[in-house]
Chains A and B, each alone.
Chain A
Amino acid sequence: MSFDSEADNKKFAEKFSFTFPLICDTDRTIGTAYGANADPQKGAARVGVVIGGDGKIKEWHERVDARAWPAALVGTL
């Protein structure tokens, strides 16, 4: 998810045929709750979160590597 508009995220999703929802947190409410609104002048920080089925945080990363994290995630999920 990002602080981008629906239109911007729609373009992004269509370009890469993403099969998951890209949440448009335009008022930064969710980003703030999850510690991803570190600099209100900038876009969201690259925070990565894993939430368990019990609704509790399993992992919270301040900055994930966009290339490495997916592989690491697949190993832990």
Chain B
Amino acid sequence: MLNPGDKAPDFTGRDHTGKTVKLADYKGKTVVLWFYPKADTPG
């Protein structure tokens, strides 16, 4: 788990359109990360 004040782990990933997404690209902005178990499932 992570705690408030911890440095957010840097990451580079690929989105659903094939575009590269880096946390560093959002420097200075608030970022929300939301994990879900499987695309298009209720919960």
Q: Which residues of A contact B (CB under 8 A)?
A: 1-2, 4, 6, 8-13, 15, 21-25, 29-31, 33-36, 42-53, 55-60, 62, 64, 66, 69, 73, 77
Contacts and interface: CB of A to CB of B under 8 A. Distances in A.
A25 B23 CA distance: 14
Q: Is the interface of B mostly helix, strand, loop or mixed?
A: loop
B39 A21 contact: no
Contacts, number: 138
Contact of A10 (B17, B32, B35): B17
A48 B18 CA distance: 23
Contact of A43 (B6, B38, B42): B38
Nearest to B39: A12
B26 to A, nearest CB: 8
